[in-house]
Amino acid sequence: MQAIQDLLAETPPWMINTAIALGAAALAILVALVIHRIIFRILRKFAKGSDSSTDDLLVRKLARPSRYALIALGLVLAAREIPLLEKVWERVAGFVMPALVGWIALAVLHAFIHAMTIRADITVADNQRARRKRTRLAIFSRIGTAVIIFVTVGLMLLSIPGVRDIGVTLMASAGLAGLAVGAAAQPALKSLIAGMQMAVTEPIAIDDVVIVDGEWGRIEDIKTTYVVVKIWDERRLVVPTTKFLEETFQNWTKRGSQLLGSIMLYVDPATDVAPIRAEFERQIAEHELFDGRVQNVQVTDLKPHAMEVRLLVSSTGAQELWDLRVAIRETMMDWLRREMPDAIASQRLRATEPVRIEGAPALSQG
């Protein structure tokens, strides 16, 4: 014991204070980790016992940020008793605390968005409401993430005295600075506002079938500044968000996925339409892609060389309608070739006898 007292007497005070501060910090971190482990072990048991998957997701998302938040809380409590540790903490608290709060806010936001996205099941047949919900969640998630990061970084920068002074100077000259920043940020603000409008007005939703710039495709992703359209041939069309608010485009699934489609047959004008109607009704009734809503046969046009017969069909979605149309077109043409070959439109030339005029002299030969 005397040897320890002699060693402490010979050790400089700053070294002793540093050792005490490090020991207190290490002890605070250890206690915080133990408390975090106990709390989250209990929370995981409760989450597993729950029927909802939202609890598991929330616990998993909050595990890491809450661990560092408890460590920061332990250091704050230890710094109250250790002057040297308090001085060090005061220097870094302006960075650490906003970052931890922002991290926790992002974790809660993403957990909420993820849980709500899982509940919006788009694999069901009537998925319009789920697709609209997922679209709103995706847009609000990106906007919320951007706002949280912006506020967090701003609070961290304000803890630096030099940056705070610069901010005061800019506020004093807010007129010129506002004009410059407004002009520079106009495209970004326009895109951000357009993204918010998309979430509120909902001109499109995830997985909507659209025609943009003459291209047929589905909405694959909606960002705050652009929309990704997956074209039928696996290409991606990147369209500015503002285009869907300022220009005309086709949305085939705005109110529902059910659609009507037509199949055109061109037959000889003398063809009897009744057998064609009967065969079409037989084929469409047996087809698995037909939803049973609309089926019709009409003569929509008549020209000297062909008669236009429209077969009207309906199906549950755009892809199903396309497959139904091409299948019925193929089977109907095959039936016409086998059963009514004379009905297929073609150009005919008829041989006629020479025209004879009464009283005209006969033409001599030679």
Residue-wise pLDDT tens digits, 62-91: 788 888 888 888 777 777 777 777 777 777
Residue 176: pLDDT band with limits 50, 70, 90 = very low
Task: Round to whole Å and give the CA distance between 172 and 170.
Answer: 5
The sign of the dihedral angle between the CA atoms of 34, 37, 38, 40 is positive
| Cβ contact 210:249 at 8 Å | yes
Residue 174: pLDDT band with limits 50, 70, 90 = very low
Query: Which percentage of the chain shows pLDDT scores above 90?
Result: 17
Higher pLDDT, 261 or 363: 261
Q: Cα 238 to the chain's mean position, in Å?
A: 13
Q: Single out the residue of 233, 248, 258 nearest to residue 321, CA to CA.
A: 258
Question: According to the model, what pLDDT value does residue 276 have?
Answer: 93
Tally of CB atoms within 10 A around 116: 16
CA atoms within 13 A on the CB side of 335: 15
Higher pLDDT, 222 or 310: 310
Q: What are the tokens at 110?
A: 């993403």
Residue 127: pLDDT band with limits 50, 70, 90 = low
Question: According to the model, what pLDDT value does residue 366 have?
Answer: 47
Question: According to the model, what pLDDT value does residue 349 have?
Answer: 58
Task: Round to whole Å and give the CA distance between 340 and 275.
Answer: 9
Task: Round to whole Å and give the CA distance between 63 and 106.
Answer: 13
pLDDT beyond 60 at 277: yes
123-127, 298-302, 357-361: which is most confident: 298-302
Torsion, CA 333, CA 338, CA 342, CA 345, rounded to 10: 20
pTM for the predicted model, two decimal places: 0.54
